[in-house]
C-alpha cells in the first residue's frame, strides 16, 4: 500500500512517500527537502505534525517515527488530534 508521511525536517505534510508491506516499511526521501526517514536516533524518535483539518479545531495531527537499537526505522505512529481525535490534516495545496 502506498501512503505518505509528514517530513520531520521541512515539516511539509504528506511529503515522504512510502510503501508498507509484509516485508516492512520502505520510505522514499522527502519530495521537497530530500530528508530520509530510514535512519534516525538509536532507540529514539523523530516527530512531524500537520494542522488538523476539522473546522475550528486548531489542533495538530502528529506522526512519530520510532527507531530500533541500530537506528533503523521500526515504525510510524500517526496520533490523532488531541482536541477532536481526527487523523486528517489541512490540505497544503502542494
CA–CA distance, 52 with 42 (Å, rounded to integer): 30
Give the pLDDT of the chain (94 residues) as one tens digit per residue.
457 888 989 888 888 988 888 888 889 999 999 999 999 999 999 999 989 999 999 899 999 999 999 999 999 999 999 999 999 988 754 4
C-alpha angle with apex 35: 33 to 36, nearest 5 degrees?
155
Length of the chain: 94
Q: How far is residue 44's CA from residue 37's CA, in Å, rounded to a whole number?
A: 12
Backbone phi and psi for residue 44, each to the nearest 5 degrees, phi listed first: -115, -170
If you search the block for the grid coordinates 508498507, which residue do you land on? 20
| Prediction pTM value | 0.82
Instruction: Extract the C-alpha cell encoding 30.
Output: 522527502
Amino acid at each position: 500500500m502506498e501512503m505518505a508521511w509528514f517530513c520531520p525536517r521541512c515539516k511539509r505534510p504528506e511529503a515522504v512517500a512510502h510503501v508498507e508491506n509484509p516485508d516492512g516499511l520502505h520510505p522514499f526521501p522527502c519530495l521537497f527537502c530530500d530528508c530520509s526517514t530510514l535512519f534516525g536516533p538509536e532507540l529514539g524518535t523523530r516527530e512531524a505534525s500537520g494542522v488538523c483539518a476539522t473546522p475550528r479545531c486548531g489542533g495538530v495531527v502528529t506522526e512519530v517515527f520510532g527507531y530500533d537499537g541500530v537506528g533503523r526505522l521500526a515504525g510510524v505512529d500517526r496520533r490523532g488530534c488531541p482536541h477532536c481525535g481526527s487523523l486528517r490534516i489541512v490540505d497544503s495545496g502542494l
